[in-house]
Amino acid sequence: MTYFVTIAFILILLSLGGAMIFMLKGKKDTEQEDTDLNHPDQNSASDNAKRSSKMAWALAARVGLSVLLFICILISWKMGWIEPTGIKPGQ
């Protein structure tokens, strides 16, 4: 169970990092940006749409993995595979 939780947590972080990369990825040359402002091109709009959809998919995958991990932890607790440790009630 420890390995599963560790792998799921790493996948969640990688998905979040992927979304960040898609969000920050853009044009690197300022001259190209100036030309795009003077002569807007359809390619830049389609590139933005592709980046947005990839970012949205990565964020959706992160949410899905988080929910799946939470459900697996709850099922494991109900089945008795893991036990809660920490502050006991009434103390």
Length of the chain: 91
CB 19 within 8 A of CB 62: yes
Listed in sequence order, the residues at least 6 apart from 85 whose beta carbon sits closer than 8 Å to its beta carbon are none
pLDDT over 70 for what percent of the chain? 77
pLDDT > 50? residue 31: no
Largest CA distance in the chain: 70
Query: Where would I find the H helices in the chain?
Result: 2-24, 30-38, 42-79
What average pLDDT does the segment 16-31 reach? 70
Q: Where are the domains of the chain?
A: 1-22+47-81
Report the C-alpha gap between 34 and 42 in whole angstroms: 15
What average pLDDT does the segment 68-75 reach? 89
pLDDT > 70? residue 17: yes
